[in-house]
Chains A and B, each alone.
Chain A
């Protein structure tokens, strides 16, 4: 019979068997393979925060242009920050491309990004660039209303043209938005209220009124578009380019509109990962991502965000910035207040019963 002697011996033996695997390492090679390697044999791994197809188009486009083998993993901003943080010593990614700027800010604060301003950044308007030079904007998404015209007709309500239209009692349980802690989109919605109404208290007061009409707070920022597309609600609050894609993919009752009081926007970034193995190629990639060539790939694969480079062609399906009022969005301040504000949202709004 086995007794405690065995169990006692186990831990020691387990350690021993581990060291069987072990072998001495020449410390000079710990920097990893390819360190200081010539750009000739460089290859790039991109953490991509945008849709699968555009990630594919971007990396293929760059590989075709430069001959540098480039592949990607699609990750949400949170996953990217988590993975960059976990592998800080030997990063598995060289570049981060796509995904909202607040994630880039979080990564920069943790020292995960290289402070690098690509040459082409000179073409990009100031408001789409990081003041500290950690990231540069590659596209802009505008927050809008994604309405299901069939459901609106059933309810006898017109297409919403202002934030206050969403408070219509006829739209009870007919509005879908994501939760600001889980979704950058929803946080943009929340911060937009703060900016346009002048204070955090006033912004939260509006969200509290809206709460009565919200069916549920989804986790994903794009989900409200599908929820509206399937007719579960009349209006979803999403970035307008997502709504356009849903409509194109068969949810034909959808219609985009924008609030007349002004709306928020997101900037998608590109950044070079700190201490990457292929820094030269990574910088080359970041620089390329700012060219019209890279930015015009979007509409070819169903990504209708606006390009940040003014020289890029605008597609007819993109939001027209001439007709839209944008609020004065301060990304640094928004990021700084995010934690407190979402905690307040959780306690004062999401947890409250609906009237």
Chain B
């Protein structure tokens, strides 16, 4: 390995080493395999997101749509909604990132037993179906909350920003947690050693070495959480109270005012902050180098064992996890109770209802479709990350953005876009002949009962998380490893398969798990494309919550939790088999 120079690059100004210039090899012939991959990926994204979006934007940019867009600046009511959206995104982005980081730090750096449980509990909120956390929080600490009213006699009111913040932070922090966990595990312990050898305290090492290396992680997490928070629909509906945000406004426009044009217009406005955050991420964080995996031998990992650091960190971790456990315990207990907090009679009626007729079809369909979508989304995500970080120079930002659209665009808009775009065949008339480019993919009349469109939504909605974690992981890996393989004659696709993919396996795994969980729990785009033949669980939960049957909703949520957790466990087992490639590289050097 020849990567010695570029080893300790972060904060390297103090070390005087040059930044890791990408060594350009001899000018190679046109890289056909990569070009082919780019073409295929872009074509897929074109169908999955650009075409449906274009269908929606056609409406939003009409004269009347544009009037609504302008009203978000001129009309005081609508302006307040925009402000609310920003506030919510920023608050959840910051708090969720900090929480995710702290938990990941405890998990990776602090010595304690039970790390596996700690990890699983941190991931639990990912599998949370929409409405579960919000209804549990209302039951626990709402106006008549079991804790706040029943035990403490308080009349708290958590509707609005406070409740929304609690629920969204608790729901979305795992994104940040997984991000930071992967990054912290990939940090070369030799850096800590070097810092310690130079006389730095643990705190100084943390502040001056660890944190600066994680800047892309903070940015990526904030970006993801910000966009997730402002795009979330289910929670603002249930616990948002009078605190209206753009996502709920767009939904209201469509469901309450029957106005697709206005709904599309609000979504266009919702896209602006997402774009803004994205640009900031690209041009500010993107420039910082964070290479730390270099193929060099890795040192021994050191864990925090001293009580002064260990006790408060662990106490914090336990506190947060207790809150999570409490929330999901509420869901599970609620599933076996008539009306939790009001009528605490034990009952199996909720499960009987869910498992007879209406429920089991949707359980089967949802699980099957999510299982189909997961590997597609996972591999596509890693491919995108690889192309963006390593392969495509001009336009990599654009490519990255295309992949992120599934997250940046609110689910409601994706759903409406799919309904407009895919419920009828896509046909083009050239001369006298009509060419059918795509058959109808969604809607009751389409093949497989519209299931294709649902899988497509699952893929595009869960692609960004894999792509993000993949990019963050790849940015930590020195390109000289790729280049070494390339100079030994490997083609670019071979490099991806045999070098890059194994190195970013933790990120890939995180991407897969998240893709499955997200598919199983996504709601807002699904509302618009479920068909009689293809019932989806989240849609059923919505129906139950709508009807006020919290018990049935909790039962559905419990079953969904069990399914997702089982599949996640299986995936972890399957992919953990061949252990840590990095140590092999290290050993070989």
Contact A73 B444 (CB under 8 A): yes
Contact status of A18 and B46, CB under 8 A, knowing A181-B257, A231-B144? yes
Residues of B within 8 A of A56 (CB): 357-358
Q: In this assembly, does B502 line the interface, its C-beta being within 8 Å of a C-beta of chain A?
A: no
Query: Is the CB–CB distance between A82 and B40 below 8 Å?
Result: no
Within A170-201, the residues touching B (CB, 8 Å) are 173, 179, 181-183
Q: How far, in angstroms, from A51 to B542 measured CA to CA in the complex?
A: 12
Q: Is the CB of A72 within 8 A of B532?
A: yes
Q: Which chain B positions have C-beta within 8 A of A339?
A: 257
Residues of chain B contacted by A18 (CB below 8 angstroms): 43, 46-47, 437-438
- In the complex, are the beta carbons of A92 and B435 less than 8 A apart? no
A174 to B255, CA, bound (A): 27
Q: Mark A337-349, 1 if CB is under 8 A from B, else 0.
A: 0010010001100
Cross-interface CB contact of B528 among A4, A82, A183, cutoff 8 Å: A82
Q: Is the CB of B394 within 8 A of A347?
A: no
B25, chain A: closest CB distance, angstroms: 9
Which residues of B lie under 8 Å from residue A51 when comparing CB positions? 547
Contacts of B287 in A (CB 8 A): none
B139 to chain A: closest residue by CB: A230
Contact partner of A92 among B237, B258, B443, CB < 8 A? B443
Query: In the complex, what distance in Å separates the CA atom of A3 from the CA atom of B548?
Result: 57
Chain A: minimal CB distance from B169 (Å): 21
Nearest opposing residue in chain B for A354, CB measure:
B242
Contact of B260 among A32, A82, A181, A350 (CB under 8 A): A82
Please tell me if the beta carbons of A90 and B159 are within 8 angstroms of each other in the complex. no
Q: Which residues of B contact A346 (CB under 8 A)?
A: 77
User: Given the interface contacts A19-B435, A225-B548, does A79 sit within 8 Å of B255 by beta carbon?
Assistant: yes
Q: Interface residues of B: mostly helix, strand, loop or mixed?
A: mixed
Query: Is B152 interfacial (CB 8 A cutoff)?
Result: no
When A and B form their complex, which 4 residue pairs have the shortest distance between CB atoms, in order from nearest? Answer: A78-B255, A71-B532, A216-B241, A226-B548
Contact code string A217-235 (vs B, CB < 8 Å = 1, else 0): 1011011011001111100
Segment with Cβ contacts to B, from A246-254, A282-290, A292-300, A307-315? A246-254
Minimum distance in angstroms from B313 CB to a CB of chain A: 37
| Alpha-carbon distance between A221 and B77 when the two chains are bound, in angstroms | 22
Of B34, B435, B546, the residue contacting A24 (CB under 8 A) is: B435
Contact with B242, one of A85, A216, A233, A245 (Cβ below 8 angstroms): A216
Interface residue B393 (Cβ < 8 Å from any Cβ of A): yes
B436 in contact with A25 (CB, 8 Å): yes
- Which B540-563 residues have a C-beta within 8 angstroms of A? 543, 546-551
CA distance A229 to B548 in the complex (A): 9
What are 30 A-B contacts with C-beta separation under 8 Å? A1-B28, A1-B393, A2-B391, A6-B38, A6-B392, A13-B43, A18-B43, A24-B433, A24-B436, A32-B445, A73-B444, A73-B532, A78-B256, A85-B260, A86-B419, A87-B424, A90-B440, A90-B445, A92-B531, A181-B256, A219-B237, A223-B548, A226-B548, A226-B550, A242-B548, A249-B548, A250-B339, A347-B77, A350-B77, A351-B77
B469 beta carbon closer than 8 Å to chain A:
no
Are A229 and B342 in contact, with the CB atoms below 8 A?
yes
B430-484 contacts to A, CB under 8 A, are 433-438, 440, 443-445
Closest Cβ of chain A to B334, distance in Å, is 12
**From residue A146, how far is it (CB to closest CB) to chain B in Å?**
11
A49 nearest CB across to chain B (Å) = 11
A57 → B minimal CB distance (Å) = 12
User: Are B427 and A25 closer than 8 Å at their CB atoms?
Assistant: yes
Tell me the residues in window 348-389 of chain B with beta carbons closer than 8 Å to chain A beta carbons.
Answer: 357-358
Query: How many Å from the CB of B85 to the closest CB on chain A?
Result: 16
- Write out the residue numbers on chain A whose beta carbons fall within 8 Å of the beta carbon of B80: 351
- The answer to whether residues A9 and B39 also contact, given A86-B423, A231-B144 and a CB cut-off of 8 A, is yes
CA of A320 to CA of B302, assembled, Å: 75
0/1 interface trace, chain A 1-39, chain B, CB 8 Å (1 if under) = 111111101110110011101111101001011000000
Segment 36-86 of A: residues with Cβ below 8 Å from B: 45, 51-52, 56, 71-74, 76-79, 81-83, 85-86
> Cβ of B42 and Cβ of A10 under 8 Å apart?
yes
**Given pairs A92-B531, A93-B444, 11 additional interface contacts (CB within 8 A):** A2-B34, A3-B393, A5-B30, A10-B42, A18-B46, A45-B532, A79-B255, A86-B528, A92-B444, A103-B258, A107-B258
CB-CB nearest in chain B for A14: B43
CA distance A319 to B140 in the complex (A): 34
CA distance A233 to B143 in the complex (A): 8
What are the residues of chain A within 8 A of B77 when measuring CB–CB?
346-347, 350-351
Q: Given A10-B42, A216-B159, A82–B419 Cβ distance below 8 Å?
A: yes
Q: Do residues A250 and B342 form an inter-chain contact, with CB atoms below 8 A? A: yes
Verify if B338 is at the interface (C-beta below 8 Å from A). yes
B485: interface (CB < 8 Å): no
B217 at the interface (CB under 8 A from A): no
- In the bound complex, how far is the Cα of B242 from the Cα of A23, in angstroms? 51
Confirm or deny: B571 has a beta carbon within 8 angstroms of a beta carbon on chain A.
no
Say whether, besides A79-B255, A222-B548, A74 and B543 are in contact (CB < 8 Å): yes
Across the interface, B420 reaches (CB within 8 A) one of A9, A86, A217, A253, namely: A86
The reply to whether the CB of B335 lies closer than 8 angstroms to some CB of chain A is: no
A9/B35 contact (C-beta < 8 A), A216-B242, A230-B341 known: yes
Question: How far, in angstroms, from A107 to B433 measured CA to CA in the complex?
Answer: 34
Q: Is residue B160 contacting chain A, with contact meaning CB distance below 8 A?
A: yes
Residue of A nearest to B78 (CB): A346
Question: Which B positions have Cβ atoms within 8 angstroms of A?
Answer: 24, 27-28, 30-31, 34-35, 38-40, 42-43, 46-47, 76-77, 80, 138-139, 142-144, 157, 159-160, 237, 240-242, 248, 252, 254-258, 260, 263, 338-339, 341-343, 345, 357-358, 391-395, 416, 419-420, 423-425, 427-428, 433-438, 440, 443-445, 527-528, 530-533, 543, 546-551
CA distance A22 to B436 in the complex (A): 5
CB distance from B37 to the nearest CB of A (A): 10
Cβ–Cβ < 8 Å partners of B420 in chain A: 86
Query: Which residues of B lie under 8 Å from residue A230 when comparing CB positions?
Result: 138-139, 142, 144, 339, 341-342
A251 x B342 contact (CB < 8 A): yes
Q: A89 and B424: CB pair below 8 A? A: yes
Chain A residues whose CB sits within 8 angstroms of the CB of B338 once the complex forms = 249-250
Q: Which residue of B lies closest to A252 (CB)?
A: B343
Q: Which residue of B lies closest to A226 (CB)?
A: B548
Contact of A90 among B31, B255, B342, B423 (CB under 8 A): B423
Report the Cα distance A2→B241, complex, angstroms. 51
Shortest A244–chain B CB gap in Å is 12
Chain A residues within an 8 Å CB radius of B527: 79
The minimal Cβ–Cβ distance linking B239 to chain A, given in whole angstroms, is: 10
Residues of A within 8 A of B43 (CB): 13-14, 17-18
Is A222 in contact with B546, judged by CB distance below 8 angstroms?
Answer: yes
8 Å CB contact of A10 from B38, B237, B443: B38
A334 at the interface (CB under 8 A from B): no
B394 close to A4 (CB less than 8 A):
yes
CB of B415 to closest CB in A, whole Å: 9
In the bound complex, residues from chain B placing their C-beta under 8 Å from that of A205 are none
Whether A78 pairs with B419 at a CB distance below 8 angstroms is no
Docked-complex contact B436 and A23, CB < 8 angstroms: yes
A215 within 8 A of B: yes
Closest to A88 in B: B424
B residues less than 8 Å from A277 (CB atoms): 445
Q: Are A183 and B256 in contact (CB under 8 A)?
A: yes
Nearest to B353 among chain A residues (CB) is A53
- Taking a contact as CB atoms under 8 Å apart, the answer to whether A7 and B392 are in contact is yes
Instruction: Tell me the complex Cα distance, A45–B443, Å.
Output: 11
Flag whether A318 is at the interface (Cβ < 8 A). no
Cross-chain contact A17 with B256 (CB below 8 angstroms)? no
The answer to whether B237 and A83 have CB atoms under 8 Å apart is no
Query: Which residues of A are found within 8 Å of B38, using beta-carbon distances?
Result: 2, 6-7, 10
In the complex, chain B residues whose CB is within 8 Å of the CB of A83: 419, 528
In the bound complex, residues from chain A placing their C-beta under 8 Å from that of B76 are 347, 351
Task: Please tell me if the beta carbons of B40 and A17 are within 8 angstroms of each other in the complex.
Answer: yes
Residues of B within 8 A of A231 (CB): 143-144, 342
Asked if A106 is an interface residue, CB under 8 A from chain B, the answer is yes
Residue numbers in A under 8 Å from B237 (CB-CB): 219-220
